[in-house]
Amino acid sequence: MEPTSPGDPGEPILFLLGTEQEDAREQPYRLRSDPQTAILDEVVDVGSGPVRTGRTAVQERIRGARRIGQLADALVRYRLPGQLRSPERPPIALRAVALDEDGIRWELPPGAIAPAPPFFVEITGYNSIFQVPVARAVVRDGCLVTAIPDQVTRLRRRWRRRVVVNGDHFLRFRHPLQPTSVRCEIRDLSDGGLSFRANPERDLVYPGLILPDVEIVAPGGAALVCDAEVRFVNRDLCGVRVFHRSAADEQRWLALVTRALHPRTSSDARYSDAAWRLYERAGYFQLSGKRDDEFTELRHAFASCERRIEDAPHLGCRVVWPTNDGEAFAALSVLRLYHGTWLGYQMAKVHGDQPNGAESRQILRDIHLHAYEHAQLDPSLRWLLGWAQVKPVWSRLVHHDLPERYRKTGLSCVLRFRALEASSAVEHDVAMTDVTIGPATPLETELFVRKLSRARPRPYLEAHDLVGERIDLAEVKRQWRAAGLHRERALLIARRARQPLAAALVETAEPGLHLFRLLDQARLYPLTVGGEAAFDALLAGARDWFRAAGRDRFVLFLEEGSTLRAPTLATLNDLGEADMTILSAEVLPELLEHLVEVTAPRQPRQ
């Protein structure tokens, strides 16, 4: 049984708490005494001062009985450890173990005595701290039972997650200020740095210290050499930012971090054939009324794209959950489609749990975390784009429900459209014979951008590079071309007596990247009152453009509010309705936190 829809969780109340530090390797924050209005107490000094990355720390007040109940249920299902915090006493370790009509049951250590309320419980989630205020509590059968609160505070300081490693990663360096060698156990890793266990007095480490020629030793590989800067020292823990001497060294480092973050998934192109067989086995090729044999001609192109994308990870990746026999049980792709926009697409999974015992929810969680944390490495990431089917499918829980939650904040938009597959070879009657179609002139391009800025929200315009300086996709095309991949865009204008009536935005991408050809797409926009009447003529012009580009078919994204004549619709294959969701990368950590919540285990772990 897959997770059920969380329903309407209400509008989030967000507070930006300033810019995070590089890699967020700060000292543990301190909270003011009132847990319901807790804020970060200070910016931690890291020697040269906090590094400004443009990413903001976030505090969210989670409210609403339904939303709070869903969060409490997830905490119990994961059996997450936490700490009871009270101004008068040291923290007490506890764990959420049950949820019933009386509230949340917390397992206490033997002999522990909980203080009288009020106090709060602090729990670490995927990448956030949840603070659960407690106004009423009783001890029953060895458990602390607390009422479900009216509000929970979520604090998120880090832009990227870091992972604790299990005592088999080490760091070595010769101290730059004294003739000693230091060897320490690495505690955790992220793409930007690491922390290791150290004795500040013995090892003479302090914020701002530069460590040249640091050797990082991990299982299954040769030592990696880099330089590092100490960012913080906190008791026996030292955090450093790492600096790489070449692109090859950086890729080795990212590979090491990826193995630690995602031990059960892979983005290796050698699973290309396995991914194809997964699409056959999982029924992906039968979506929208399609048949397996309609995709056969794309198999070679698909494998070729997989190899080229693996060599250009800054443009995308395809993540699989491999099985012991070398097959793929699940797969998900992400692609940098526009300048700062990554598209998540082409997800498939065999129905149910894996025979080795891995839960369906865990598999879905792991492939999504791997794919979107890969996109998170892109310093230009600004938007996340998704196309969620308008039907009760699992992916809608993640790619629609959370963006819908943020619509009123300006951090997302959701737009309904119908995907209509068109043949480039089909000829049809065009009612407006006095309309001509041709490429947009510079002035018509300016008019298009100006008109569209009034008709579509900012996230739509920015995410699709529909702004003046990026509308030609020049930089995107250059990067794709360098990776051996095709990318093209054109703007076609329908005119009557030289006056623009409507526009068609047409795009192509490398064949084989999207097996349903949704990257060979057309969109129609009116430029004047009544301009929709020229859509049929524009569609005929789009067919000509795609035919000249060597595409035998393409997909028309008919966005809400747009219509076509019935004879024209009869020439198109209806692939179904979907919601286009666009989410600001500023809340990508919130998307991943939501993903972890809706994929909580079916039963608490024993």
570 closest CA partner among 429, 434, 437? 429
Annotate 473-542 with three-state secondary structure. CHHHHHHHHHCCCCEEEEEEEEEECCEEEEEEEEEEECCCCCCCCCCCEEEEEECCCCHHHHHHHHHHHH
Out of 1.20.1270, 3.40.50, 2.40.50, 3.40.630, the CATH code matching 269-407+585-598 is 3.40.630
Q: Give the mean pLDDT of 71-77.
A: 92
- How much is the pTM? 0.87
Query: What is d(CA 100, CA 135) in angstroms, rounded to the nearest whole number?
Result: 17
Query: What is d(CA 35, CA 39) in angstroms, rounded to the nearest whole number?
Result: 9
What are the b/e assignments for 535-560, b being 16+ CB within 10 Å? Answer: bbbbbbbbbebbeebebebbbbbbbe
8 A C-beta contact, residue 172 and residue 181: yes
DSSP per residue, 216-273: EE-TTS--EEEEEEEEEEETTEEEEEEE-SSHHHHHHHHHHHHHHH-TT-B--GGGHH
The pLDDT of residue 385: 97
The pLDDT of residue 59: 87
Same fold, 269-407+585-598 and 415-584: yes
pLDDT at residue 8 greater than cutoff 80: no
For the stretch 215-226, pLDDT in tens is 999 887 778 999
Q: What would be the CATH architecture of the domain defined by 13-156?
A: Roll (2.30)
For the stretch 100-116, pLDDT in tens is 888 999 999 988 888 99
The pLDDT of residue 223: 85
More confident residue, 557 or 396: 557
| pLDDT bracket for residue 431 (50, 70, 90) | low
For the stretch 268-313, pLDDT in tens is 999 999 999 999 999 999 999 999 999 999 999 999 999 999 999 9
Q: Give the mean pLDDT of 524-538.
A: 95
For the stretch 205-216, pLDDT in tens is 999 999 999 999
Cis peptide leading into residue 118 (ω within 30°): yes
Query: Domain residues of the chain, as ranges?
Result: 13-156, 163-261, 269-407+585-598, 415-584
pLDDT at residue 20 greater than cutoff 80: no
pLDDT at residue 135 greater than cutoff 80: yes
Give the class (CATH, top level) of 163-261.
mainly beta
Indicate the pairing of strand 316-322 with strand 499-509: unpaired
- Beta-strand ranges (E) seen in 41-150 are 56-63, 81-86, 89-100, 103-107, 119-124, 129-134, 137-140, 143-146
How many other β-carbons are positioned within 10 Å of the β-carbon of residue 33?
9
The pLDDT of residue 15: 58
The pLDDT of residue 31: 25
Which is the CATH superfamily of the domain at 415-584? Gcn5-related N-acetyltransferase (GNAT) (3.40.630.30)
Read off the amino acid at residue 271: Y
The pLDDT of residue 389: 87
405 closest CA partner among 14, 87, 16, 99? 14
For the stretch 235-257, pLDDT in tens is 889 999 999 999 889 989 998 99
Query: What is d(CA 219, CA 255) in angstroms, rounded to the nearest whole number?
Result: 12
8 A C-beta contact, residue 418 and residue 390: no
- Residues forming beta bridges with residue 226, ordered by sequence position: 214
Q: Which two tokens stand for residue 433?
A: 């014979």
| Average pLDDT score, the chain | 87
